[in-house]
Amino acid sequence: MNFLEIKNLKTFFHTRSGTVRAVDDISLTIRKGEIVGIVGESGSGKSVTCHTMLGLLPQPPARIEGGSIHFHGDDLVNLPHSALRAIRGKRISMVFQDPMSCLNPFMTILEQVAEPLIIHDNLSLEEAEKQAIEMMEKVGIRDAEKRARSYPHEFSGGMRQRVMIAMALVTKPDLLLADEPTTALDVTVQARILKILRSLREELDVSVLFITHDLGVVAEIADRIVVMYRGKVVEQGEVKEIFSNPKHPYVKGLLACRPTLDCKYGTLPTVDDFLETIEHENGAIEIREKKNIENTLQKLVETKKNSEKEQSDPLVEVQNLTVRFRSSKGFIGEKTEDVLAVDGIDLTIQKGKTLGLVGESGCGKTSTGRAILHLIRPTSGEILYEGKSLGKLPAENLIEYRKKMQIIFQDPYASLNPRLTIEQTLTEPMQVHNIDNNNSSRRERVVSILEEVGLSSDHLLRYPHEFSGGQRQRICVARALAVEPEFIVCDECVSAMDVSIQAQVLNLLQELQRKRQLTYLFISHDLSVVKFISDDVAVMQAGKIIEFGKASDVYTHPKENYTRDLIDAIPSPYNLVKD
Amino acid sequence: MSIENTKVQNLISSSTKSSSLWRDAWIRLRANRLAALSLFFFVLVSILTIIGPEIISTSYDEQDLNNTFAAPGSTHLFGTDNLGRDLFARVLHGGRISLAVGFLATAVSLIIGVAYGMTSGYLGGKMDALMMRIVDILYSLPFTIFVILLMVLFGRNFVLLFIAIGAVEWLTMARITRGQTLSLKQAEFIESARALGYSHKRILFRHILPNLIGPVIVYATLTVPAVMLLEAVLSFLGLGVQAPMSSWGSLIKEGSEKMDIAPWLIFFPGLFFSLTLLALNFLGDGLRDALDPKSAKD
Amino acid sequence: MVKFILVRILQAIPTLFLIATLTFFMTRMAPGGPFDSEKNIPDEIKEKLEAHFGLDKPLHEQFILYINNLLQGDLGPSFKYMGWDVSELIAKAFPVSAQLGILSLCIALLMGLPAGIIAALRKNSSYDYFLMISAMLGICLPTFVLGPLLILIFSSWLGWLPPLGWYSFSDMILPSLTLGLFYAAYIARLTRAGMLETLNQDYIRTARAKGASPIRVVLCHALKGGLLPVVTFLGPAFAGLISGSFIIESIFFIPGLGRFFVTAAFNRDYTMVLGTVLFYACLIIILNLVVDIIQASLDPKSRGR
């Protein structure tokens, strides 16, 4: 039974510089009790679809240009506001991505969870609170009765997302719209939330429209998948069918370009390997499948065979590193809190290899990276670079090592000074370190580095805001390369990216490593990505390294339970396609 | 929703093939009619008050005792006062003083505030806490009272006037600069500058300062009218510039005493003063929207 | 919370001492003395007067004496109003200023808050433009222009309201309106900005997704966060109302503390100046503390501390 049917929906954004066709003629249906996953990269229109259904888009600039959304006989597109409000939160509820900003910081958890009941069911406060607490227990909030009167900031991220889910389900809706509900969470927490959603679907007989960029997540939870690309639905069908036999070139590319635990490629394929887009003169875009894909893929697989590296000398050694943060509030320091971020760890990073450092948020991996570069001062312990201790060096000698060690950050938007052109950004490190002594040779060097990272000399005089996220990350890589370093810390440097761009950047990092014999410390929360790029892996938990070894060994035979939990929590279509 | 919004934003910035953020801001400012008009008006008033007194035939202190309290007309555009002095000349001259005080005092507050705020924010930690505590304490002082006291006790002195006002106004500037510096310091491009071994001087002046200029300009634009207002308050209490010199504030004071006989004496200075403040405030708002396109959508 | 208040009170002591010291030496170092202007006073009487008030002693002795008296709660006698103590004068004049201030603040809040909320809700509509341009006019029309203007219109021309004095309620309307309008304009702008920022938050979208009506969204979800900046502003606003009252009191001839202060400063009435400054400082410190407490009670995050 189709109880929700979207037909030819078009939502456009009209801005001063033109029209953005955010959702462009899509159709899909949801059946009773079904979980449908919408997958797509950022800008594919998946969130806009969801917001359009509930009339939550700001209009203008958004405008629904056509189509219908039929729900129990009503057309949500043409429904008057008051009627739509009666449906929102009662029969269709929504869970958003960021549970911190989506909960009202001025209201208690209980007030917020009970609110839909008060709005829609006219329940007394007492009754509403009783039902709210019941629902909170159902989503796995222990001691709900006691904790219900706390404020959102007193809850952890995972708990807040449970609160959001309880709030959405408290009115027993027919349909739950979940917009990237687990994206901001750690894998193990994500696994638990997905489990709760699945069991509640059975219990409450609710249909779910689950929006995500993560193919693994959707494979775990959905019955059916809808893949969106540039505002259009490019493919939809049963989960198994799509994973084992994708038809559209974009879907094929999307599936291939994500590194998985059993990844067979040495270099990741990219979406561009699969399709070419042709823009017609009337503005229409045609997507065509490329020829000879099999050949290209075969070549990529072959790059893996000779990638096994020899044992080499250590370049960076971390000995008993401890980082403690002291946060004091107020000048007289009424309260001091000590946070032990890194708790006496040892690491060895071998020359020309990549060490992957994985762990969940707050485990101390970022502090480790920064302490190695002496961006934060280690509380105790030693960092040895080629056997020399950095801690004992006077400041002026540390500068020599700044040339040898570089870092690339997660957010390419914040990593570039918005007031400097690309040329200024890239020549500045050369001026500081006296690399080349005149501007024309520096410019030549900048151009060659830009070409190495896949940009061109046309970009020299542009400013950062004129580039896309992926391009900006390439500029950050170029800036790191400007001082000819030997060792680069990659701090979650592909975590904020769409998979297709992530694949390009990962390939770039690998290519640079081969060409320049670079050594990487690759910090990430994403175990699949770490597996793909690393030779050795260290697993970090609560400031300690709990497991360390060759990547292939750690993933196939984890020694610690925690490592096994992490690996098991990775959502993946792996099991699904196998059986 | 917010993700989609940034998408749209990106689309806008990538489709307009412009270069620096400054040029983008300038284009946005010109597109804001109210701000553009304010800028035009402000430039006009500035030119009038700077070169006006030099080219018009009557001087601000020239008395024409046969022609006291003359209504506005062709000989005296804005009329005359009790001593037969031409109000038009006096308004232009008064504007010169008012604007000069406004800009000089703002410059004083700008220099002290930015230096203090940047130091405090960049040093961070205990030093920052101490420096901000001092600002907090100074904030809780009745400063206007001190300025009045200062002017009363030490006499009307032009230099003392803007130093005193500037010394009051720097507090907010310091707070703003410090907040901006703190958040910039955490930005990843500053961290990468440290990783590249840049000196503190280079980081402060090449990477932090240029990114501070936006909010500082906005606040400075809003400080000028605030200072002019304070100067006018002092003039109104008879603590401003000495007669026969005049500022808009002292003209308004004179006008308010004689408004029953000659309402134009308060009307014209009041009009010029209010319109200039209005233009500066609108310009400040416009600049804020232009320099920070995210807030412009409000 | 109790600890927070205690710490603030302890911190106020050095601040007040600093103010007392600063003001004391500033007044003494300035040219002129309290009995200079009266030329008809013979020198020996002047000397006697100075001896009576202890002005012939060395400066540091005078200072120690003053601080000593201050610690016993004695602000000393006025130099100009013979036979009056400074504290008596303040007790007489302050209620007038307080009345004016409270009335103005009420006007400011009653006009500013609704105007700001309406402007935010009807963003970019003609209501919004009208309200915000009026608010900007209110900010740019200084009290000393607005005051005379109101007198001109409502007393001289229309004859509805008295132009000066402070005896009956009708006397209070024009002054409090003059002072209140400026703050109303400021509060309207702050409210609009605060509400807009709050309305843009993700949790407002959550509330809308729950099916809350627009009125409920504003009253239950947006108002608390949106009004925080207004509460923060109330601290400086009190200080502004107090110093703003100088002008209003001199325009409308109101016997308030502001006028006493300015007259005292002109007359070199040292003890009166010092006493008033310290009184103002205490007042501002207390009001700021009250504002901080209100703010903390509104924001659950800071409540825990």
pLDDT tens, A187-218? 888 888 888 888 888 888 899 999 998 888 88
Comparing CB atoms, the residue among B4, B14, B188 nearest residue A415 is: B188
pLDDT at B13 over 50: no
CB contact under 8 A, A89 and C299: no
Q: Return the structure tokens found at A324.
A: 């403690």
**Which residues in chain B are contacts of A328 at CB distance < 8 A?**
126
Alpha-carbon separation of residue A449 from A119, A402, A410, A512, C66 (angstroms): 60, 19, 21, 11, 74
Per-residue pLDDT, averaged over B259-265, amounts to 77
Is any Cβ of chain A less than 8 angstroms from the Cβ of B137?
A: no
CB contact under 8 A, B195 and A61: no
Mean pLDDT of chain B, nearest integer: 79
* Assembly ipTM: 0.80
Terminal alpha carbon distance of chain A: 28
Over residues B188-213, the pLDDT tens digits come to 899 999 999 898 999 999 899 988 88
* Distance to chain A for C122, nearest Cα, Å: 13
CATH hierarchy code of domain C86-304: 1.10.3720.10
Is any Cβ of chain A less than 8 angstroms from the Cβ of B10?
A: yes
Q: Look at residue A112 in the predicted model and tell me its pLDDT.
A: 92
Is any Cβ of chain C less than 8 angstroms from the Cβ of B255?
A: yes
Comparing CB atoms, the residue among A51, A331, A462 nearest residue B126 is: A331
Q: Are strands A314-329 and A405-408 parallel, antiparallel or unpaired?
A: unpaired
In order of their start, the domains of chain B are 32-55+79-297 (1.10.3720.10)
**Which residues in chain C are contacts of B225 at CB distance < 8 A?**
140
Q: Look at residue A578 in the predicted model and tell me its pLDDT.
A: 39
CB contact under 8 A, B192 and A407: yes
Q: Among all residues of chain A, which has the CA nearest to that of C3?
A: A334
Is any Cβ of chain B less than 8 angstroms from the Cβ of C145?
A: yes
* Distance to chain A for C106, nearest Cα, Å: 26
Chains in contact with B, where contact means 3 or more Cβ–Cβ distances below 8 Å, are: A, C
Euclidean distance between CA atoms B144 and C247, whole angstroms: 12
Q: Look at residue C32 in the predicted model and tell me its pLDDT.
A: 66
DSSP-assigned letters across all residues of A298-331: HHHHHHHHTTPPPP--EEEEEEEEEEEEEEEETT
Q: Among all residues of chain B, which has the CA nearest to that of C194?
A: B298
CB contact under 8 A, C23 and B149: yes
Per-residue pLDDT, averaged over A141-152, amounts to 86
pLDDT at A222 over 50: yes
Is any Cβ of chain A less than 8 angstroms from the Cβ of B6?
A: no
Per-residue pLDDT, averaged over A384-391, amounts to 85
Per-residue pLDDT, averaged over A539-553, amounts to 90
Query: What b/e readout covers B215-232, taking b as 16+ CB neighbours within 10 angstroms?
Result: bbbbbbbbbbbbbbbbbb
Q: Among all residues of chain A, which has the CA nearest to that of B24?
A: A465
Per-residue pLDDT, averaged over B63-81, amounts to 71
Euclidean distance between CA atoms A25 and A11, whole angstroms: 8
* 3-class secondary structure, C149: helix
Interface test with A, best of C197, C208, C210, C215 (most A CBs within 10 A): C210
Over residues B278-292, the pLDDT tens digits come to 888 888 888 887 876
Q: Look at residue B298 in the predicted model and tell me its pLDDT.
A: 37
Is any Cβ of chain C less than 8 angstroms from the Cβ of B266?
A: yes
Name C115's Cβ contacts closer than 8 Å, sequence gap at least 6. C131, C134, C135, C184, C188, C191, C192
Euclidean distance between CA atoms A68 and A76, whole angstroms: 7
Helices (H), A2-75: 46-54
Enter the DSSP assignment of B71: P
Nearest by Cα to C247 from C119, C146, C150: C146
Phi-psi region of A166 (alpha: psi -120 to 50; beta: other; left: phi over 0): alpha
Residues in chain A whose Cβ is within 8 Å of chain C: 54, 56, 85-90, 93-94, 96, 98, 101-107, 115-116, 119-120, 151, 153-154, 164, 167, 329, 334
Q: For chain C, what are the domain ranges?
A: 86-304
Q: Among all residues of chain A, which has the CA nearest to that of C212?
A: A119
CB contact under 8 A, A153 and C211: no
* Distance to chain A for C305, nearest Cα, Å: 10
Q: Return the structure tokens found at A441.
A: 């040779």
Euclidean distance between CA atoms B106 and A387, whole angstroms: 55
Is any Cβ of chain B less than 8 angstroms from the Cβ of C274?
A: no
Enter the DSSP assignment of A42: T
In the stretch 18-47 of chain C, residues with CB closer than 8 A to chain B read: 18-19, 22-23, 26-27, 30-32
- How many beta-carbon contacts under 8 Å exist across A and C? 74
Enter the DSSP assignment of C163: S
Least confident of A80-84, A92-96, A416-420, A570-574: A570-574
* Distance to chain C for A177, nearest Cα, Å: 10
Is any Cβ of chain B less than 8 angstroms from the Cβ of C280?
A: yes
**Which residues in chain B are contacts of A60 at CB distance < 8 A?**
none
Residue with token string 């309200």: C131
Q: How many CB atoms lie within 10 A of CB A245?
A: 10
Q: Look at residue C68 in the predicted model and tell me its pLDDT.
A: 80
Nearest by Cα to C132 from C122, C146, C142: C122
**Which residues in chain B are contacts of A411 at CB distance < 8 A?**
188
CB contact under 8 A, B155 and C31: yes
* Distance to chain B for C82, nearest Cα, Å: 22
Alpha-carbon separation of residue B15 from A17, B11, B12, B276, C148 (angstroms): 7, 6, 5, 37, 53
Over residues B166-188, the pLDDT tens digits come to 777 888 889 889 988 988 888 88
CB contact under 8 A, C246 and B263: no
Residue A254 host element (H or E)? helix A249-257
Length of chain C: 305
Least confident of A114-128, A170-184, A194-208, C288-302: C288-302
Interface test with A, best of B6, B19, B132, B192 (most A CBs within 10 A): B192
CB contact under 8 A, C212 and A115: yes
Over residues A328-362, the pLDDT tens digits come to 554 444 556 678 889 989 999 999 899 999 988 88
Per-residue pLDDT, averaged over A554-564, amounts to 89
Distance of CA C158 to the CA centre of its chain: 31
φ, ψ dihedrals at A547, nearest 5°: -150, 140
pLDDT at A258 over 80: yes
* Distance to chain A for B112, nearest Cα, Å: 22
Q: Return the structure tokens found at A158.
A: 């995972």
Torsion angle of the four alpha carbons C193, A151, B183, A186, in this order, in degrees rounded to the nearest 10: -130
- How many beta-carbon contacts under 8 Å exist across B and C? 117
Q: Look at residue A259 in the predicted model and tell me its pLDDT.
A: 84
**Which parts of chain C have pLDDT scores under 50?**
304-305
CB contact under 8 A, B149 and C251: no
CB contact under 8 A, A411 and B188: yes
Per-residue pLDDT, averaged over A499-508, amounts to 89
CB contact under 8 A, B237 and C247: yes
Q: Among all residues of chain A, which has the CA nearest to that of C304?
A: A154
Euclidean distance between CA atoms A509 and A491, whole angstroms: 13
Nearest by Cα to A141 from A193, A181, A97, A186: A193
Per-residue pLDDT, averaged over B161-167, amounts to 75
Over residues A395-450, the pLDDT tens digits come to 777 888 888 999 999 888 889 998 888 999 999 999 988 888 788 888 889 999 99
pLDDT at A521 over 90: yes
Is any Cβ of chain A less than 8 angstroms from the Cβ of B194?
A: yes
Is any Cβ of chain A less than 8 angstroms from the Cβ of B294?
A: no
Comparing CB atoms, the residue among C202, C220, C298 nearest residue A101 is: C202
> Percentage of chain A surpassing pLDDT 90?
22
Alpha-carbon separation of residue A404 from A12, A353, A367, A382, B77 (angstroms): 49, 15, 19, 17, 74
Q: How many CB atoms lie within 10 A of CB B43?
A: 11
Euclidean distance between CA atoms A432 and A425, whole angstroms: 12
Distance of CA A121 to the CA centre of its chain: 38
In the stretch 211-230 of chain C, residues with CB closer than 8 A to chain B read: none
Comparing CB atoms, the residue among B16, B191, B198 nearest residue A17 is: B16
DSSP-assigned letters across all residues of C271-305: HHHHHHHHHHHHHHHHHHHHHHHHHHHH-HHHH--
